[in-house]
Amino acid sequence: MVDRHLNVSDMLEMSFKSGLAKIYTSMPATLIAFDPATQRAQIQLGVKRKQQGVWKDLSVLVDVPVVFPGSQSWAFFYALSQGDEGWAHFSQRCIDDWLAAGASVQPSSLRMFNATDAMFQPGLRSAVTAFAPMPSAGAGLANKSGNVSITATDSAIDLKVGGTAIVSTNNDVTLTVGGQTLVLSASGLFHNGVNIGATHTHSGVMAGNAISGPPIP
């Protein structure tokens, strides 16, 4: 029942809020399913909506394009799985025709800010899925446990897989595997501190067919 005591300002505000409630702009979302062949997903929006006094989940959105950074020739890709969090963006206009043809298209629908025109960008994380700790220098790629990582800084590139690591700096490249270390630099190639490069020498050298001793540190 309409309140007869509402003034024009109140009615305009109610009308504005009613219209605004139908507009989708952006909000967090969770991945339900992902198809690598089409790069389309099903997502559950992360903020409930109050309907007739009850907070309810919005319907799962289907056939949602997933945003992967890249160009026409290259793409930065990563595995996605159910439960991954991210951000859902909603286009101002219908994107069905653009998704099919690219370039500049005439929209087949005049809908605006509609839930069916969503895009999903993985990476936004709640406290539940946040990585900790996140490196504070350089740029890189890592799994959540940190067991596998590639980190680039102003002074080095560091690649790690478990206990194996390759670190490249301006001066040398260091490979560490199972407690063994190889270092290649302008000074030569060193294994656990012993020179095994082109300039190394051996102990116990005598003329003949005998085997020499190990390289001299």
55: CATH: 2.40.50.230
The answer as to whether 55 is a domain residue is: yes
What is the share, in percent, of the chain residues with pLDDT greater than 70? 88
Residues 12 and 111 in one domain: yes
Residues 75 and 154 in one domain: no
Whether the per-residue pLDDT at 159 is higher than 70: the answer is: yes
Give the burial class of 120: count Cβ atoms within 10 A of its Cβ; 0-12 exposed, 13-18 middle, 19 or more buried.
Answer: buried
pLDDT at residue 216 in the model: 65
Q: In the β-sheet with 118-122, what is the strand arrangement from edge to edge?
A: 61-65, 40-45, 26-35, 85-90, 118-122
Whether the per-residue pLDDT at 212 is higher than 80: the answer is: no
Whether the per-residue pLDDT at 5 is higher than 70: the answer is: no
The answer as to whether 3 is a domain residue is: no
pLDDT at residue 210 in the model: 62
pLDDT at residue 115 in the model: 94
Where helices occur in the chain by DSSP H, the ranges are 8-20, 96-101
Whether the per-residue pLDDT at 97 is higher than 90: the answer is: yes
The answer as to whether 128 is a domain residue is: no
Quote the mean pLDDT of the chain.
88
Residues 68 and 153 in one domain: no
Whether the per-residue pLDDT at 3 is higher than 60: the answer is: no
Distance separating alpha carbons of residues 35 and 42, to the nearest angstrom:
9
Whether the per-residue pLDDT at 202 is higher than 90: the answer is: no
pLDDT at residue 47 in the model: 94
The answer as to whether 213 is a domain residue is: no
C-alpha torsion sign, points 42, 45, 46, 48: negative
Residues 88 and 45 in one domain: yes
Q: To 5 degrees, how large is the angle CA 67–CA 68–CA 72?
A: 110
pTM of the model: 0.76
Residues 115 and 161 in one domain: no
Residues 153 and 109 in one domain: no
SS3 state of residue 103: coil
In 3D, which of 107, 26, 97 has the Cα closest to residue 61? 26
User: What domain range includes position 96?
Assistant: 8-122
Residues 153 and 182 in one domain: yes
Task: Give me the mean pLDDT over the 85-98 stretch.
Answer: 96
Per-residue pLDDT band for 133 (boundaries 50, 70, 90) equals: confident
Distance separating alpha carbons of residues 154 and 134, to the nearest angstrom:
18
Task: State residue 52 phi and psi, 5-degree precision.
Answer: 55, 45
The answer as to whether 201 is a domain residue is: no
User: Which residue has better confidence, 157 or 51?
Assistant: 157
In 3D, which of 32, 57, 62, 33 has the Cα closest to residue 46? 57
- Is residue 107 within 8 Å of residue 117, measured between CB atoms? no
The answer as to whether 133 is a domain residue is: no
Task: Pick the most confident of 14-23, 148-157, 208-217.
Answer: 148-157
Name the least confident of 58-67, 103-112, 124-133: 124-133
Residue found by looking up tokens 């790629």 in the block: 141
Task: Give me the mean pLDDT over the 129-140 stretch.
Answer: 84
Whether the per-residue pLDDT at 2 is higher than 60: the answer is: no
Preceding peptide of 133 cis, ω within 30°: yes
- Is residue 118 within 8 Å of residue 105, measured between CB atoms? no
pLDDT at residue 201 in the model: 73
C-alpha torsion sign, points 87, 92, 96, 98: negative
Residues 53 and 15 in one domain: yes
- Is residue 122 within 8 Å of residue 79, measured between CB atoms? no
Residues 112 and 145 in one domain: no
Count the domains in the chain: 2
